[in-house]
Amino acid sequence: MPGRTGAAFAGGWIRYGPAALIGGAAVCAIWLLPMLDAADQTPGPVLLKARQQQVLRIGVRSYPRPTDSTEALVAEPDEMDSELASALGRYLGIKVQLKALPAHDFSDFLSKGEVDAVIAGSLDIPGLERQRAALSEVPQAYENGALLSLRNAMPSSLKDQSVCVANGSPWTYALQAQGAQTQIYASNIRAASAFLAGDCHLLADERTVLASLLQTPDWRFYRMLPQTLAASSDASVYLSEPDPKSLRLLQAGLRDWQSRGGQTKAWDLHSNAFLVDSMKISDGLVCH
């Protein structure tokens, strides 16, 4: 196979000339980047220990789903975080063990040594920049955030406006940059429920999923504002300690996940789950 590939490239040089060679090489370099990264890099202490123990412990956002039960339920992993955790495990060749993140103090949770890494959407944890790998953007189909308000409310700006938003949302940074007072909730559906209960003036989420909500009867008194929110980075993964070698491998794993369509699939699952949960709320089920 290698010999045949080399011959094909040689034919391309003669037939198409140097310009085509450069362009083709660039395309191949981009396509092979995740595989080359994985092949050329060795794990640092964090991932080396995980391989020795044959398990990668990853903390993910977790929360109960709407139910008709009156008893508190066990938290379920966020679809997006669990999809990425599984993909990283496959990429690294290590079994993954998920652990529910606490509601707050992620930094303290990481330092306790109970997990090797944490995945929390687009969450920015101050002081842990050297332990973070992330993708620079969300999928194109989900890149625009939007805001909902009551139909008779039209704020002239976001400054000092209270906004319900999910923990790890890629639109939190844009909201805070415009002076909004963000109120963070464990999940999209909890943020939406809080907004419906009047806890915030506005609700922030992905534009297409909010447009779908507005088509349902429970949301007939609300409307979408004209503002578009720019997303920050996506799929933030934090290691339990600074480890440049392991971090480079995780970054390569993220690019591999993205190039295979895993990032878009995870967003699809996440959005669908939000809409299903919202319908459950409409049917009278509650969030615990």
CATH number (domain holding residue 225): 3.40.190.10
Q: Considering just the CA atoms, what is the radius of gyration of the chain in Å?
A: 22
65 & 173 share domain: no
Same domain, 169 and 225: yes
What was the pLDDT predicted at 233?
A: 87
Pair (131, 150) in one structural domain: no
pTM: 0.81
Question: 288 lies in a domain?
Answer: no
| Whether residues 192 and 180 fall in one domain | yes
53 and 130 share a domain?
A: yes
Whether residue 132 contacts residue 65, with contact meaning beta carbons closer than 8 Å, is answered with no
* pLDDT score recorded for residue 66: 75
Residue 283: the pLDDT is 62
141 phi, psi to nearest 5 deg? -70, -15
pLDDT along the chain (288 residues), means of 10: 35 34 38 46 92 96 76 80 96 96 85 92 90 94 94 90 96 95 94 95 96 93 94 93 96 96 95 89 57
Domain count, the chain: 3
**pLDDT given at position 111:** 86
pLDDT at 106: 85
> By residue range, what is the domain housing residue 153?
144-230
Do 69 and 116 fall into the same domain?
yes
The per-residue pLDDT for 135 is 95
Q: Is residue 287 part of a domain?
A: no
pLDDT (0 to 100) of residue 30: 36
- Ramachandran quadrant class, 113 (left: phi over 0; alpha: psi -120 to 50; beta: rest): left
Decide if 278 is inside a domain: yes
Looking at residue 171, the DSSP 8-state letter turns out to be T
Identify whether residues 132 and 249 lie together within a single domain: yes
